[in-house]
A and B are shown apart, each in its own frame.
Chain A
Amino acid sequence: MSNREHSIFVCQGTGCISSGAEQVFASLGKEIVRLGLEGKVRVKRTGCHGFCQQGPLVTLEPYGILYTNVQPDDATDICQSLLAQGKPITRLLYRDPTTGNPVPYYRNIPFYQKQERIVLRHCGKIDPENIGDYTATGGYQALRKALLSMKPEEVIDEVKRSGLRGLGGAGFPTGQKWEVCATASGNEKYVVCNGDEGDPGAFQDRAVMEADPHAIIEGMIIAAYAIGARRGFIYVRAEYPLAVNRLKIGITQARKEGFLGRNILGTSFDFDIEVFQGAGAFVCGESTALVRSIEGDRGWPKPLPRPRTAEAGLWGFPTLLNNVKTFANIPIIITYGSQWFASRGTASSKGTAIFSLTGKVVNCGLIEVLMGTTLGEIIFGIGGGIRDGKAFKAVQTGGPSGGCLPASLLDLQIDFDSLTAAGSMMGSGGMVVMDEDTCMVDVARYFLDFTQRESCGQCFPCRVGTKQMLEILDDITKGRGKPEDTELLLELSTAVADTSLCALGQTAPNPVLTTIRYFHDEYEAHINEKRCPAGVCQSLAKGGGC
């Protein structure tokens, strides 16, 4: 065995845990003891790598070998493989779906190879419950730099120059928001991290919180310094207990190291963070609803006209609300500089985009690519194309606020603006791939059913409008569609989009609008021929193509 440090990394993200990764972790630990290798080989926990579909995942360093679908019984073989200078065990290797050949090293697997991991750089590589792992890779150096050598205005300028835009939905320029908050008057100011992942089919916020909590914490501390806040919250969805746990561990460790609390790094700057758990309300991803939820109220978006949260948020004080991934970008921007960051991406969207690639694609998982990568490169290059040799039909981005894009847009270079122009949006980064067996009318119905359930019911257009739209779509999928229905859907869409109080209602028509725009023939088949080309709608005749 060589002298370089040998480590066995076992993914302990939610996906791998659900496939038995905790038992794998335990059994590897025992095996190391049995073989008397303590002190020579470390068995370490990591967060999600993004390739959960192949889990439980184990990597052997320094060799860079990836084992997939590992079971507790494999522990003996894995230790042997390490002792044999990293000789790969063929049966545990990832197999290229087209050639069937085993690929020993993760850097050669197209799923990883074609990504540009900046925000996800630590995911799968460090132990999220050990602050030492984070600092060993340069963690908290950005905080040092900001606090000890930059004025708050300089930090804001740096973020502005980087061109970073909010990665939680609308893509508002981050630095500008910080500036509004910094200049707003208020005795108190707050920093809030939105970890209320607002998009069914998206799990990147969860993965980052579970895999690299310190990057978020560090980003928040820098933000607090920049705007002058002393208290922060991380709002986490109720469904993410592991993320809550890891963030709490991270906060405790950061306090011990003097990165949180009083007189941070010996300066006069005080700041601390609390984790706030959501209680199951989708609308709380909306900033004003989230604020109310922390205040101990129903998560109802505030009525119009409402001040911006950056000016009057929590208890009426200026509140900086950014998404998990936005904060995780901050330490990188401060460390490498705004120029480095701004040189990546497209003219209007800098840096990377993170997507949860799911649905009918061969490789599902969490991916990070430069802004400007095409949909086709993502779905066919990284995703490996469509499962079971089926044909691609559509890709849905942006969750219930986004839209379904057809094959003719596979060359679209994705960024905030190109997606919006195509009728969809970046949203929080869901990317669901649909094949010939997916019915686009059913998908539209599905999303309306979703928004209808999640609507807080506070305002009329959203509450009643989405219900009417859902009824029409229900009729169409049950064979009761009328020729005038698509017109009616378009009219209702405009009304709901224009008059709803919050983004949930305003964007709810997008899935309907894009499916009508790009898949009109499927609506016609349902309405005029009482036929579902994909064979999904049970009450209709099947097939026939469009």
Chain B
Amino acid sequence: MDELAEEFLREILSFYQGHKSELIPILLEIQNNFGYLPKEAILLVSNFINVPKGHIYSVASFYTRLRLLPLGRHRVTVCRGTACHIRGAPQILKEIENVLGIKEGETSSDLEYTLDTVACIGCCALAPCLTVDGKVHGAMNTDKVKKIFEASSVKGKHEQ
């Protein structure tokens, strides 16, 4: 980890007091800024709130939001809640797995996409739903899935 990143981490920590109850908020903030929990960050947090590293690993592996490995640049999350399930979520997931060439829980080898599922997005009236980088897309069907990923891969090319 470079100096800049470490400085940034210290700055994040400076907003906290070091109570154990701040563990999950701190980890979430690091997760949001770094995309995962780097080893160095875990060491720093462990010193900061004075809990063993093992405890932090155990907590991080329990909560699905927290990740110990880097995720893809784009995060795709498909809802597997009841409302979405009976309106075709399994087919949507299958279609995305086809389009992206990765399975649920995987990250593509070019680190472009991570594909996950979630218990419910809370937009059940628009089922089936998914989110791409936090943006909710509702009333999905396989055509719409294709369009979303065509658009974002075009965007990816432009960026290069």
Residue with the greatest number of chain A CB neighbours at <10 A, chosen from B19, B55, B82: B82
In the A-B complex, the 6 residue pairs with the closest CB atoms: A200-B81, A279-B63, A296-B23, A201-B82, A358-B83, A280-B64
Q: Would A202 and B124 count as touching, CB distance under 8 A?
A: yes
Q: Would A239 and B122 count as touching, CB distance under 8 A?
A: yes
Bits for A111-122, please: 1 = Cβ < 8 Å to B, else 0.
Answer: 000000000000
Rounded to whole angstroms, the CA-CA distance of A51 and B124 in the bound complex is 11
Bits for B93-135, please: 1 = Cβ < 8 Å to A, else 0.
Answer: 0000000000000000000000000111111111101000011
Residues of B within 8 A of A197 (CB): 120, 122
18 A–B contacts from the bound complex (CB under 8 Å):
A14-B122, A15-B123, A15-B126, A53-B125, A200-B120, A201-B82, A202-B120, A206-B122, A239-B122, A276-B25, A278-B63, A281-B62, A296-B19, A358-B82, A360-B86, A364-B127, A430-B82, A438-B86
Residues of A within 8 A of B (CB): 14-15, 17-19, 50-53, 197, 199-203, 206, 237-241, 276-282, 293-299, 356-360, 364-366, 396, 399, 430, 432, 434, 438, 443, 446-447, 450, 454, 456
Residues of B within 8 A of A450 (CB): 80, 119
Rounded to whole angstroms, the CA-CA distance of A18 and B64 in the bound complex is 24
The residue on A at minimum CB distance from B49 is: A296
Pick the residue among B20, B21, B28, B123 that contacts A279 (CB under 8 A). Answer: B28
Rounded to whole angstroms, the CA-CA distance of A279 and B64 in the bound complex is 7
**A203 and B122 in contact (CB under 8 A), knowing A238-B28, A360-B87, A434-B86?**
yes
Residues of B within 8 A of A239 (CB): 118, 120-122
Rounded to whole angstroms, the CA-CA distance of A438 and B89 in the bound complex is 13
Rounded to whole angstroms, the CA-CA distance of A365 and B25 in the bound complex is 32
Say yes or no: is B9 at the interface (Cβ < 8 Å to chain A): no
Pick the residue among A18, A359, A454 that contacts B136 (CB under 8 A). Answer: A18
* 8 Å CB interface, B67-95 against A: 79-87
The residue on A at minimum CB distance from B56 is: A296
Residues of A within 8 A of B64 (CB): 279-281
Q: Would A443 and B136 count as touching, CB distance under 8 A?
A: no
Inter-chain residue pair count (beta carbon < 8 A): 145
Rounded to whole angstroms, the CA-CA distance of A201 and B28 in the bound complex is 25
Say yes or no: is B59 at the interface (Cβ < 8 Å to chain A): yes
Residue with the greatest number of chain A CB neighbours at <10 A, chosen from B24, B51, B79, B136: B24
Q: Would A238 and B65 count as touching, CB distance under 8 A?
A: yes
The residue on B at minimum CB distance from A283 is: B62
The residue on B at minimum CB distance from A205 is: B122
**Sample of 20 further A-B pairs with CB below 8 A, known A18-B123, A200-B83, A240-B122:** A14-B122, A15-B123, A18-B137, A52-B125, A200-B82, A201-B81, A202-B124, A238-B28, A239-B120, A276-B25, A280-B66, A296-B49, A297-B59, A298-B62, A358-B125, A365-B125, A399-B82, A432-B82, A432-B83, A432-B86
Pick the residue among A19, A299, A359 that contacts B83 (CB under 8 A). Answer: A359
Say yes or no: is B41 at the interface (Cβ < 8 Å to chain A): no
The residue on B at minimum CB distance from A511 is: B82
- Minimum CB–CB distance from B131 to chain A (whole Å) comes to 8
Q: Would A356 and B59 count as touching, CB distance under 8 A?
A: no
Residue with the greatest number of chain A CB neighbours at <10 A, chosen from B51, B55, B64, B81: B81
Q: Would A356 and B137 count as touching, CB distance under 8 A?
A: no
* 8 Å CB interface, B29-58 against A: 49, 51, 55, 58
Q: Would B62 and A299 count as touching, CB distance under 8 A?
A: yes
- Minimum CB–CB distance from B136 to chain A (whole Å) comes to 4
Q: Would A14 and B125 count as touching, CB distance under 8 A?
A: no
Q: Would A296 and B63 count as touching, CB distance under 8 A?
A: no
Q: Would B82 and A364 count as touching, CB distance under 8 A?
A: no
Q: Would B51 and A366 count as touching, CB distance under 8 A?
A: no
Rounded to whole angstroms, the CA-CA distance of A141 and B49 in the bound complex is 41
The residue on B at minimum CB distance from A17 is: B136
**A19 and B138 in contact (CB under 8 A), knowing A201-B82, A356-B125, A396-B82?**
yes
- Minimum CB–CB distance from B24 to chain A (whole Å) comes to 5
Residue with the greatest number of chain B CB neighbours at <10 A, chosen from A364, A396, A443: A364
Rounded to whole angstroms, the CA-CA distance of A443 and B134 in the bound complex is 28
Q: Would B63 and A299 count as touching, CB distance under 8 A?
A: yes
Rounded to whole angstroms, the CA-CA distance of A456 and B61 in the bound complex is 12
Q: Would B80 and A200 count as touching, CB distance under 8 A?
A: yes
Rounded to whole angstroms, the CA-CA distance of A360 and B134 in the bound complex is 26
- Minimum CB–CB distance from B89 to chain A (whole Å) comes to 10
Q: Would A199 and B138 count as touching, CB distance under 8 A?
A: no
Residues of A within 8 A of B62 (CB): 281, 298-299, 456
**A201 and B120 in contact (CB under 8 A), knowing A276-B25, A279-B28?**
yes
Q: Would B135 and A18 count as touching, CB distance under 8 A?
A: yes
Say yes or no: is B22 at the interface (Cβ < 8 Å to chain A): yes
